Amino acid sequence: MTELGGDLVQAYSATTALQDPHYIQARPSLIARVRRADLVVCSGAQLEIGWLPALLQKANNRKVLPGADGYMEASRYVARIDSGVRVDRARGDIHPQGNPHIQTNPHNIAAIALALSDTLVRLDPDNANRYRANLADFDRRWQAAIDGWERRALPLRGSRGITHHKSWVYLFEWLGIEEVANLEAVPGIPPTATHLSALTARFADGGADFIVRSPYQDARASEWLAERTGIKPVLLPLTVGGTDAASDLFGLFDDIIGRLLEARDDA
Ligand SMILES: [Zn+2]
């Protein structure tokens, strides 16, 4: 938002990288922000279904309700992985509209930036030229950065990763990493002892290169499995702010790739 809007936009994030984006509290200060907002942007694909509808209702601002120009679901602009999978709520916190953790592939960010820029132009047509210039500038730097990341990440191709939650499917698809298991037996439900024991048996002789978790996830499960299998645990920032180095979108991918390469080198 800051990249595309510059000083024309005041941006505020409802979540931090240290919070689970599936569960955010509609605290009064957040409700007040939404009440005054011209635009609400979310990942969509039901990532925020547990809290955003209630927040929008409490804020009572028709400019940012679904269907209005001031409401944007980023996931509409990318090809979603796992959409159309049959859903059985009893099997946990499954996302029926496809995996919503779309920000871990920088090509998705490029598509979302284009859509977000169009939205800003629609809401504030007087400044259309500035939004379009910001987008062109961002896009040029972003595509160059993607080329660099793809070159740097080549050694990761063919790696096998275990992840805590299914938060990394877009990253793995982009970089050619295979997701071999999740620590959560049921998406959204914390890893169970039974499932971890089964994973210990399955990966006793290797079979994975790293175990990935996000800053807001309990480290104990990945460390427990790492100790018993020798597979390297890796903390990755799921979004901007997740680590010190991930201080902006560029730093986010620099840091993700750097941490994965380091884990592989140590293996
Ligand atoms: Zn999820």
- CA dihedral 26→32→36→39, nearest 10 degrees, is -20
Per-residue pLDDT of the chain (267 residues), as tens digits, is 889 999 999 999 999 999 999 999 999 999 999 999 999 999 999 999 999 999 999 999 999 999 999 999 999 999 999 876 655 555 555 677 899 999 999 999 999 999 999 999 999 999 999 999 999 999 999 999 999 999 999 999 999 999 999 999 999 999 999 999 999 998 889 999 999 999 999 999 989 999 999 999 999 999 999 999 999 999 999 999 999 999 999 999 999 999 999 998 865
**CA 261 – ligand 1 centroid, Å:** 25
pLDDT of residue 5: 96
Quote the CA–CA distance of 135 and 128 in Å, as a whole number.
11
**H/E stretch holding 117:** helix 106-123
Q: By the 8 A CB rule, do 8 and 124 touch?
A: yes
Distance of CA 227 to the CA centre of its chain: 27
pLDDT of residue 88: 56
**CA 45 – ligand 1 centroid, Å:** 10
**CA 229 – ligand 1 centroid, Å:** 26
Nearest to 153 by CA among 35, 256, 16, 26: 256
**CA 27 – ligand 1 centroid, Å:** 22
Quote the CA–CA distance of 205 and 198 in Å, as a whole number.
13
Q: By the 8 A CB rule, do 111 and 76 touch?
A: no
**CA 65 – ligand 1 centroid, Å:** 23
Name the phi and psi angles at 56, rounded to 5: -65, -40
Nearest to 109 by CA among 259, 234, 253: 253
**CA 17 – ligand 1 centroid, Å:** 14
pLDDT of residue 82: 84
